[in-house]
Structure 1
Amino acid sequence: MASWLKDAFDNPKPVIAMLHLSALPGDTLYDSAAGMRAIVERARRELHALQEGGVDGVLISNEFSLPYLTQTEPITAISMARIIGELVDEIEIPYGVNVLWDGRASIDLAMATGAQYVREIFTGVYASDFGLWNTNVGEVARHRHRIGADHVKLFFNIVPESATYLAERDLESLTRSTVFATLPDALCVSGLTAGAPTDTQTLAIAKSAAGDVPVFVNTGVRSHNIAEQLSIADGAIVGTTFKKDGVFENEVDAARVTELITAAQEFRRSL
């Protein structure tokens, strides 16, 4: 396993929780009557529930900026920066950011807010629910270096949600070439959509081909399957499972956080 992962998190096979921000200014679902204050207060409640439940890290994303853009408008990252600025003194664990689906904006936001990592789609060309989706990992990597953000770790989602890779290549060869040619700090393997289970066979293929690059299970982790998932993966990113009744739109339920983290801790004690 990469040494940076051991240095970044207190526990082996860390569980990183998603902190889904409500729709932001400029988004179709933004509640202009409630305004930014309501977004900040919900994020604060969820942050504290996640931290008190024992998660190892938090990943702050504009999950409710539906439908997503592949090149976001400036107002999105600016709004996220304000929210993180109001909460940063209350964040007690390693945190990252994700400006969906914009790798460059994610890195900019991380640099501006002190986030340690980002998760994004950095490689590939896809047919997606929001049109033809192209990337330019070389440009983004150079941008990260140019703004002094080499310390920001990049989590590459290599099985993106709501999209299909256009090239006819199997996951093993795709993983090997991604690791060799694009220098990811970690890889994420997902199911079809947020909350959808990640196939363990798919996860195992990516893990076997990734070499020393950590592989995270990115969707569908639950208390009953986290031991199985972490027996393969180097960590987990968890969002929907932590919500009340396991419903994507709901707020974080502290009891569900505790339940999953307890299961993760039981598994990690066996390592």
Structure 2
Amino acid sequence: MPRSNWLKEVFHCQKPIIAMCHFGAMPGDPGFDHKGGMKKVVEWAIKDLTALQNGGVDAVMFSNEFSLPYMTKVGTVTVASMARIIGELMPHLKVPFGVNVLWDPVASLDLAAATGAKFIREIFSGVYASDFGIWNTNCGETVRHQYAIGAQNVKLLFNIVPEAAQYLVDRDIVSIAKSTVFNDRPDALCVSGLTAGVETDVQILKKVKEALPETIVFANTGVRLENLGKQLEFADGAVVGTTFKYEGKFENHVDEERVKAFMNKVKKFREE
């Protein structure tokens, strides 16, 4: 299927809003609550998923957002824990979902294959100086793994502006986007701010979309009620996390009323 055509098949709408459902710290993570255990992590995830779906989001993406500090090669325990959580969420799921094991694309593909996720978001290509050390990737190896495990229908959302990282050499974002599309055949590109919750630069979104009009481009961070119009003017959709939380704070639970207000505005934007 052409890259520009799969959005409606997966999300059943144009300009989809993919809501982040952040998992709490899990076994192996420094912040794991040993007293509350996995039961507490699952309860938190069910509460957030319920608020997101009641609020009207188009899809959700499950991620180990509180596995700080992140790893570029995660342990088996992380993937196993996330699979357990998603398994318990299955009876509650009403929208398409994706997964993101931060920041390990092979682990994300394994989790997607095991759970039936429709898409993953990851850092698939490039070499970076990051908060996690020198960050290298091997897209060819990752995609071959995707086919080896039978996950070829899982859509790959390439984050080309990694959070808390930058290319080891100075490269213009448009040239990065163009070479990524030519060499790696992504299903979509994600353009981000510096960290979770930081607004994506609209001018960068505009430049990338104008350079690659046939490629799906998502605004990946910092889309809020007050800026969603200008973000969606150029982006084909958005990944939204922090703004859906109580008081717009990263560490809080999802606020259903904030989700409803946001999605009502999105629906009006689509109508216009």
- Shared fold by TM > 0.5? yes
Which of 245-254 and 83-92 deviates more? Answer: 83-92
Per-residue deviation, 1:213: 1.6
Match of 1:30 among 29, 32, 35: 32
The residue aligned with 1:106 is: 108
Per-residue deviation, 1:89: 2.0
The residue aligned with 1:266 is: 268
Alignment pair present for 1:49 and 2:51: yes
CA distance in 1, matches of 2:210, 2:232: 14
The residue aligned with 2:119 is: 117
Per-residue deviation, 1:211: 3.5
The residue aligned with 1:127 is: 129
Q: Residues 187-216 of structure 1: CA distance to partner in whole angstroms, max 9, x if unpaired?
A: 100000000011100111111222322000
Letter in 2 for 1:144: Q
The residue aligned with 2:14 is: 12
Q: Residues 95-141 of structure 1: CA distance to partner in whole angstroms, max 9, x if unpaired?
A: 00000000000000000000000000000000001100000000000
The residue aligned with 1:81 is: 83
Task: Report matched runs for 1:1-271 at 5 Å.
Answer: 2-270=4-272
CA distance in 2, matches of 1:268, 1:101: 32
Aligned length: 270
- C-alpha contact (below 8 Å) 2:4/2:214 kept by paired residues: yes
| Structure 1: gaps spanning 5 or more residues | none
Letter in 1 for 2:206: A
Letter in 2 for 1:132: I
Q: Residues 152-183 of structure 1: CA distance to partner in whole angstroms, max 9, x if unpaired?
A: 00000000100011122211111011001001
Per-residue deviation, 1:6: 1.4
CA distance in 1, matches of 2:218, 2:123: 14
- C-alpha contact (below 8 Å) 2:188/2:216 kept by paired residues: yes
CA distance in 2, matches of 1:29, 1:102: 19
Q: Residues 62-93 of structure 1: CA distance to partner in whole angstroms, max 9, x if unpaired?
A: 00000000000110010000000011121110
CA RMSD of aligned residues (A): 0.8
- C-alpha contact (below 8 Å) 2:187/2:216 kept by paired residues: yes
Q: Residues 24-47 of structure 1: CA distance to partner in whole angstroms, max 9, x if unpaired?
A: 100000001000001101100110
TM normalised by structure 2 equals 0.98
Q: Secondary structure at the match of 1:16?
A: strand
Per-residue deviation, 1:256: 0.6
Which stretches of structure 1, 4 residues or longer, exceed 3 Å deviation after superposition? none
Letter in 2 for 1:154: L
- Provide the identity percentage: 57
TM normalised by structure 1 equals 0.98
